[in-house]
Amino acid sequence: MARTNSNERLKRLELLAVQLKQDELCTVKGLARQHGVSERTITRDLLLMREQGMPIDADRGRGGGVRLARNWGVGRINLTYPEAVDLLISIAVAEQMNSPMFLASLGTVRRQLVASFSPDKRDKVNRLKSRILIGVTASTFVQANVATPPSRVVQSLHQAFIDQRTLAIKYQVEGGATSERLIDPHYLLLNYPVWYVIAFDHLRDSPRTFRCDRILAAEQTETRFRLLPKEAFQQSLDGNTVLI
C-alpha cells in the first residue's frame, strides 16, 4: 500500500508542476479538489516541491494562489518504456512523411530517446520500427470514406502488434458485411491518412490486409505468434518504405 501511495504522490507532483506552470493562478483549495486530496496534502506537496528547488510563488490572503515562476521550465519528462517507444516510432513516421514543417529538432529528440534505451531494448525498438511501413498517400476516394477507429480497437491492436499476440477482431468489409477473424498483426502500413494492418488471417489461412478503421472490435488473445518471413507478405509490402 505504501508503494502505491508513493507512486500516486509522484504522479501528483508531476501533474502539479505542469498545472502551476500552465495555469494563470491556482489555489490550494482548487488543487485539492482537482486531485481528490486534502488541502493539507497539497500544502505538503508544494513544500516538497520548494525543497526540491522549484520556485513556487505564493500570494497570501483572500483570493491568493500559487504558481511556478514564469521563467522556470517544467524540466525532464519521465516517459515509461512503452511511451518512449510510441514517441520514437511516431518521430520515425513523421520523418518518413518528409513534411518540411516542425521537423528541425526531431533528429535530436530521436537520438536522445535512443540513447536512453539499453542495448537490448534498442534492438527491440529497431525490430518494431522495421515492421511499420510508409506507403503512398491514399486516394481521395479512400480519404473521403476513412473514419477514426475506436480507441479500444487501437489500444488492443497496438498491444497485440508489440507483444506479437494473436488478435480476435470483428471486421467490416466495404459492402457492410461483417466477419470474425483471428489475425497475427505482422506489419502496420500507413497510406496517409489511412492505417492498415498486414496480418496472417487464420480464417483464410493466408496473409491478408485489413483497414484499421473497419475493425469494429478487437481483443488480444493469450496466443503468441512468430514472425513469418517477409516473403510471405511480399505482395502487400511491394512499393512501401520500411522505417529503419
pLDDT tens column, 202-243 = 999 999 999 999 999 999 999 999 999 988 998 877 755 443
- Measure CA of the first residue to CA of the last residue in the chain; give whole Å: 43
Burial 52-66 (b: 16+ CB within 10 A, else e): eebebeeeeeeeebb
Q: Does pTM top 0.95 for this prediction? A: no
> Which helix or strand (DSSP H or E) is residue 82 part of?
helix 81-97
Residue predicted with more confidence, 31 or 7: 31
